[in-house]
Chain A
């Protein structure tokens, strides 16, 4: 080895160690944040609803409740509401809503439905056309708040087109026979979704709409004039 003094800035070992340290610190921080996030996004249960606790990912039993998406005064962004909301946009956890004719699904029943819906979502490859929580394909509408879409509501076209009388039933009818109810030249293909799977999917969509997405999508469904313009 030569005795010539080498600057630390051109010393490979210095940079090798720096790389190792930077990577290590970043990885440790990520793991630490992951532990915190895991706690915050764990799925809630009926006890949280009974205790009026907001969960970022609420219990599947939210299917028994009326849900909304309101500007929250404290957060300064839109937040899903469960069972009605007060003037500040906080959930009341009281107002129920029938889901396929019932509003008394037990924890076990609701868990099973959402699980079935998630399995169906993966088995039918929904994410390669649609986006869920904004991730997926861009060939079809985002499904993050699909349950709350005015198209499926009382004044929307889908209940009339499918001959049903609730959001849940309209969505299930569409999912089973998308070819019968074309909403656009870009039709959804027939994915052989059974009635049971459709019910699971709708439960999954309803529960997904209650996930606290930090205000995404912004202003969802708030512009009334826009809602049924031009759908072909």
Chain B
């Protein structure tokens, strides 16, 4: 059956390619996450075949790469609508998509089948860089930079030629910072403290600053499109969010510099600014609900009858994003951001709990909302209604992640108390804490909740595949 394609711009077609790869990598992330979760319960599972280090490496890299794909896709999707013109250099953009995808495929194959290498510079260049999240070998780093620079140039030229809205201005400035920051992770040093210092420039300034600003920009765009929020008000919010996110997030970097060899003054700087990081997240949540309610009320006041949003699944994911970002990044982050607490929680399952809920709440949710907007655009749907599968995906993915976070938080609490506070953090203290029944139970629940999420993901894929084709969901 030939599917009708209602995209007005080639840029949006390219966006749908990016989104497709993103969903595939999301699936890979869940699968490898399940492998690692099983290994916590049955350590001999795939021992010496696909060890925990490899499973986890692919788990976290698939996460970052699917989100980068979905971010690039989102920008290519909204770019022509915001600027009013086709993306400049769309032909090159398509070639870059294939270059990036082939490079990612090669890296994944090397990770799976070669895994590690001898202690030589050539390993860093061609097999793995071995720095959590930045394991991609150096050749791939350079490839990523080339592709991203091409992407930024495309975006820039389009914005100059077309209409330059506030949303586009924010995205442009942010993308330049985001691309530039990646360079901070592309060098080798024998000094582990120096290594970690710059490593955090990439990791923190991506996920706690530049990515958050992109979320703000995507949310602004989505609110204008879905609930018809007024651009002037949404963009004013956006600028306030940018000020607050960068104002707290840039120096909030200090909360990673408590214990890596860096000076003590980072205690105060990190504690103060990272404690402020949740403030804009509360603001973003209020902003989404406020605009939604306000525009609905305004249109009802004008006597309009059908005032529901024009894309229910996207709107629900957007609301979950507002709440999940605040809960996962804000509340769970604040739990352990003060040095007085962090000296015990640093490097425990607490961090894992925060990491899981924050990546999901802040990023996965809004990017899924963007997927639904692309489905709406692709099929030329005026109003897209949630199906049973949309609701199951929303419920199972969110509930699974929340349950997993609770399990990991309990594990973290136990680990902090027994391994760190009581037994002083040695090798044997570590294993005493790992053997505790609370840890074992938490790991069982985490695995179970991973299954719940995987079922939710299957519903999501089914829904993304079919929702646009079924006229019942459209009106």
Contact = CB atoms under 8 A, between A and B. Distances in A.
A71 interface: no
Given A10-B236, A12-B232, A127 B132 contact: yes
Interface string A172-205: 0000000000011111011110100100100010
A220 B242 contact: no
A51 interface: no
Interface in B419-473: 420, 422-432, 434-435
Interface stretch (A91-99, A101-109, A139-147, A162-170): A139-147
Interface stretch (B5-13, B46-54, B87-95): B46-54
B160 interface: no
A5 B242 CA distance: 25
14 contacts: A119-B123, A119-B190, A126-B53, A128-B56, A129-B52, A134-B260, A135-B347, A139-B39, A142-B425, A184-B43, A197-B118, A221-B424, A226-B426, A231-B431
Given A41-B194, A122-B129, A216-B258, 13 more contacts: A26-B247, A38-B197, A43-B190, A111-B190, A122-B128, A123-B120, A125-B116, A134-B346, A136-B132, A213-B260, A222-B424, A226-B424, A227-B428
A78 to B, nearest CB: 10
Report, nearest first, the 3 A-B pairs whose CB atoms are least far apart: A122-B130, A120-B119, A134-B347
A136 B129 CA distance: 14
B332 to A, nearest CB: 16
Contacts of A135: 132, 196, 199, 260, 347
Interface of B: 36, 39-40, 43-44, 47-48, 51-54, 56-57, 115-121, 123-124, 127-132, 135, 166, 169, 188-197, 199, 232, 235-236, 239-240, 242-244, 246-247, 250-251, 253, 257-267, 269, 343-344, 346-349, 351-352, 420, 422-432, 434-435
Interface string A17-52: 011001100110110011011101111000000000
Contacts of A215: 259, 343
A211 B192 CA distance: 9
Contact of A213 (B115, B169, B235, B259): B259
A219 B424 contact: yes
Contacts of B253: 30
A123 B258 contact: no
B53 A37 contact: no
A37 B269 CA distance: 13
A163 B353 CA distance: 40
A212 B347 CA distance: 17
B344 A128 contact: no
A18 B40 CA distance: 48
A33 B123 CA distance: 33
Nearest to B236: A12
A150 B135 CA distance: 32
A140 B53 CA distance: 10
A120 B116 CA distance: 10
Contact of B250 (A12, A23, A191, A204): A23
Contacts of B196: 132-133, 135
A220 B426 contact: yes
A174 to B, nearest CB: 11
Contact of A138 (B44, B194, B246, B352): B352
Given A26-B251, A135-B260, A141-B430, A114 B130 contact: no
A132 B119 contact: no
Nearest to B352: A138
B251 A127 contact: no
Contacts of A208: 192
Contacts of B191: 41-43, 57
Given A41-B262, A151-B427, A127 B420 contact: no
A226 B236 contact: no
Contacts of A23: 242-243, 246-247, 250
Please tell me the size bucket of the interface on A. Answer: 35 or more
A129 B40 CA distance: 11
Interface of A: 10-12, 15-16, 18-19, 22-23, 26-27, 29-30, 33-34, 36-38, 40-43, 56-57, 111, 114-129, 131-142, 144-146, 149-151, 183-187, 189-192, 194, 197, 200, 204, 208, 211-223, 226-232
Contact of A133 (B129, B135, B259, B427): B259
B428 A228 contact: yes
Given A15-B239, A125-B128, A197-B119, A27 B250 contact: yes
Nearest to A207: B192
Contacts of A128: 52-54, 56-57, 130, 132, 135
Nearest to B242: A19
Contacts of A137: 52-53, 56, 132
A75 to B, nearest CB: 8
Q: Which of B131, B169, B429 has the most CB of A within 10 A?
A: B429
A12 B239 contact: yes
A217 B420 contact: yes
Nearest to A13: B239
A211 B194 CA distance: 11
Contact of A134 (B259, B263, B269, B422): B259
Nearest to B249: A26
A123 B117 contact: yes
Contacts of A111: 190
Nearest to A217: B425
A132 B193 CA distance: 10
A215 B269 CA distance: 18
A123 B128 contact: yes
Nearest to A227: B428
A198 to B, nearest CB: 10
Contacts of B267: 214
Contacts of A227: 426, 428-429
A140 B51 CA distance: 12
Given A138-B351, A138-B352, A223 B422 contact: yes
